[in-house]
Amino acid sequence: MSSLPNVHQAEPIPTDARVAIDALLQSGDLFRYTAPQDAPVTLLEQEFAELLGSRFALAVSSCSAALFLSLKALDLPRDARVLIPGFTFGAVPSAVVHADCIPVLCEVAENYRIDMADFEARLDGVQAVIISHMRGHTSDMDAIMALCNARDIPVIEDAAHSLGTTWHGRNLGTIGKIGCFSFQSYKMINAGEGGIMVTDDPDLIARAVIMSGAYEHNWKKHTVLHDAFARWQNKLPLYNQRMSNLAAAVIRPQLPELARRVRDGRANHDYVAARLNTSPWMLVPEKLAPEVRAPDSIQFNMVGMTGDQIRAFSDVSEAAGIKVQVFGLSTDNARAFWNWEFLPEKTDLPQTRAMLMKACDVRLPVQLSRADLDAVADILLAAAEQVMGETRAYGT
Ligand SMILES: *Cc1c(COP(=O)(O)O)cnc(C)c1O
């Protein structure tokens, strides 16, 4: 076999970033509120809002900070109940706890999307909802918005891993009241760390801007101004979760790359998915019809295998050079809800648990070549066959 792809390799940052960083290092102007105008963070907010089709954007230190500030901006009372999916990253329930709220978990189906019947059954008494589009898999946003709008429950979209995904042609993160994104290295745009939130609501953005650390009159350096800022001056705590100009300088030159990354990521994913689906032992679930995905990884369920066989499949794949994470089988996995021991209320979610015990996760960085993708698929297909014995005929 030819050389193995490195599925942990990041794409190089565009060289324009180097020029911008050099200028920042020369001037020492790293804080977003030093320059009277046009700081890189401010320009990023304008460009990102325009890219998404939102009125306002606020760049912060992480998507977790954006989720926390979203809950704070909604002015939820202490111990408010916030519904989240049972399949998400540990940062999501953590942001809820950080905001002095109580995470309420709902079931997620075999296709990694929220189980709508269970979601509806748990909505009573809930004061906000965070829809986490885990690994970019979009739940039924039409049904979610209908249920939440009817009850006047605000929806925050955790679109950390969904930048570039659309639903009925609309960008994910712009469907709920607030959308939150991540610039951590494993996401579509990489600044090491960073996050951003978007909303069309002037009061919410004013509150979030001030709480993010726009102390005194620094909010005046945000470009879309309105009365709400002055109204909230000195009324809110300052949590100092601002973004540095250095991060914005790394992010801005990547925005024009997004469309290509999304296109390549989707083509790569769909190519590998079609190959894996030829195996009787693997199934890549279908997306929902209104969704156009922007994947940089692939998830699939093992079919007809015991836990030990799935473990063996993962070991054989890793020995051959491709790391397969089975969400529910790896120790201390931050995406397995039973490891969130910090939750104030425990729930068992048998359906989500069963899914996590057979759901596999493999990174597929967008820059992989067709040969790389074939190498990944070959290893996974061979590992399944080795564990389950030679299959006589595919698809039977
Ligand atoms: C990465 C991720 C987060 C956390 O983002 P940070 O910027 O690291 O805080 C939250 N939710 C999902 C679905 C993610 O993939």
Reported residue count of the chain is: 396
Question: Closest residue (by CA) to atom 3 of ligand 1?
Answer: 160
Asked whether the beta carbons of 159 and 89 are under 8 A apart, the reply is no
Provide the β-strand partners of residue 137.
Answer: none
Tokens 């209104």 locate to 290
- Alpha-carbon span 191 to 204, nearest angstrom: 26
Average of pLDDT values for 238-267? Answer: 98
Q: Is the CB of 296 under 6 A from ligand 1?
A: no
Specify the pTM: 0.96
Q: Coil, helix or strand for 266?
A: helix
Mutational pocket test of ligand 1: of 156, 158, 183, 337, the residue with most ligand atoms within 8 Å of the beta carbon: 158
C-alpha of residue 84 to centroid of ligand 1, in Å: 14
* Cβ of 171 less than 6 Å from ligand 1: no
- Please write the tens of the pLDDT for every residue from 69-92: 999 999 999 999 999 999 999 999
Answer whether 162 contacts ligand 1 (Cβ < 6 A): no
* 245, 43 contact by CB (below 8 A): no
What phi and psi, each to the nearest 5 degrees, are found at residue 89? -85, 145
Q: Is the pLDDT of residue 2 over 60?
A: no
CA 83 vs CA 74, 142, 191, 306, 335: distances in Å: 14, 17, 29, 32, 16
Residue 215's nearest CA partner among 199, 189, 239 is 239
CA angle 174, 243, 83 (to 5 degrees): 45
Please name the residue that has the structure tokens 């969400």.
327
pLDDT digits (tens, 9 = 90+) for 360-384: 999 999 999 999 999 999 999 999 9
Biggest CA-to-CA distance, the chain: 72
Structural domains present in the chain: 15-256 (3.40.640.10), 258-395 (3.90.1150.10)
Distance 383 CA to ligand 1 centre (A): 30
Per-residue pLDDT reduced to its tens digit, 81-136: 999 999 999 999 999 999 999 999 999 999 999 999 999 999 999 999 999 999 99
The answer for 234, left when phi > 0, alpha when psi is -120 to 50, beta otherwise, is: left
Is a pLDDT exceeding 60 seen at residue 396? Answer: no
